[in-house]
Amino acid sequence: MENNATPRISELELMATKIRRNVLDICMQRGGYAGQGVALADIAACLYFDEMRADDNNWYHDRFVLSNGHDAIMTYGALAEQGAYSMEELRSYNADGTKIDQSPIEGQLGFEITAGSLGQGPSQAAGIAYAERLKGTDKRIYCLFSDGELQEGNVWEAAMFAGHQQLSNLVYIIDNNDLQATGATKDVLGVEPVPEKFESFGFAAKRINGNSIAEILTAFEQARNTTDKPFVIVCDTLLFAGVDCIQAVLPNAHYVAKASADWQAGLQELDEKLSRFSANQQ
């Protein structure tokens, strides 16, 4: 990894910037969960464009389970760059009659389960990982969920099962932003220490800066090299990380209404970053 880490990191930082721009473009139409989508862009870039292996059908050999449906905006932003959705389609996000739902249903392109009932994803991902092992495949299962979902009991039932079965093909990714709909997670119902709790259930655990491409890549590498237990990556993220002008005014916005942000200023900031990437590559 050391020999080619710098070019790979630069490429993924560029991809994360594109994903951030897509998220703002989508959400500026009607509002939405822009803060989370922007914050998760680094994870999305690493997951979709480096970590998950491709199959022979222009899709993915490995499987991704999104538990917290409101973070679908991250997936939409990434799959626009993958070519699965056009931006024209995605601009109908949350419109009446659209198929681009804020919380997608099972079978929609890019989504394994019906998301939105928080805490369901970890159990379903563990079941999928167990089934893939029984079938003898080498598929790896990745599941993203939020720190607020750790307040759900079925998350810990899933952790108990995954640890007991030593599901080394399962990777949990926790968006640990200390915010849920009704306030700071630590004030509503504290969930820390997250890594130590999962370790007690038989996981290998690593806490990282979820907005650092280098740390994300290292964590995924460690997960791949862990062969006797499931792995959990606790990603400390900041809402709107990477779009300074919006983060400065909406640092704790769980949901953003259409008129709440200066979307054009955010797009301009990201366009300037994309221009700098382009100049550095010449």
For 54-97, how does the pLDDT look when each residue is reduced to its tens digit (9 = 90+)? 999 999 999 999 999 999 999 999 999 999 999 999 999 999 99
What average pLDDT score do residues 187-216 get?
97
Helix%, strand%, coil% for the chain, nearest 5: 50, 10, 40
Dist. CA 141–CA 123, nearest whole Å: 12
Please state the separation of Cα 25 from the chain's center in Å.
Answer: 18
Dist. CA 57–CA 51, nearest whole Å: 17
Averaged pLDDT of the chain: 94
For 22-47, how does the pLDDT look when each residue is reduced to its tens digit (9 = 90+)? 999 999 999 999 999 999 999 999 99
What CATH number should be reported for the domain holding residue 67? 3.40.50.970
Asked if 163 and 125 count as a contact pair (C-beta separation under 8 A), the reply is no
Number of domains in the chain: 1
- Positions of E strands within 128-276: 141-146, 170-176, 204-209, 231-236
- pLDDT band, very low/low/confident/very high, at 282 (cuts 50, 70, 90): low
What average pLDDT score do residues 245-271 get?
94
Q: Which domain holds residue 124?
A: 5-281
Dist. CA 104–CA 112, nearest whole Å: 9
Dist. CA 198–CA 230, nearest whole Å: 10
For 103-160, how does the pLDDT look when each residue is reduced to its tens digit (9 = 90+)? 999 999 999 999 878 899 999 999 999 999 999 999 999 999 999 999 999 999 999 9
Asked if 69 and 78 count as a contact pair (C-beta separation under 8 A), the reply is no
pLDDT attached to residue 2? 40
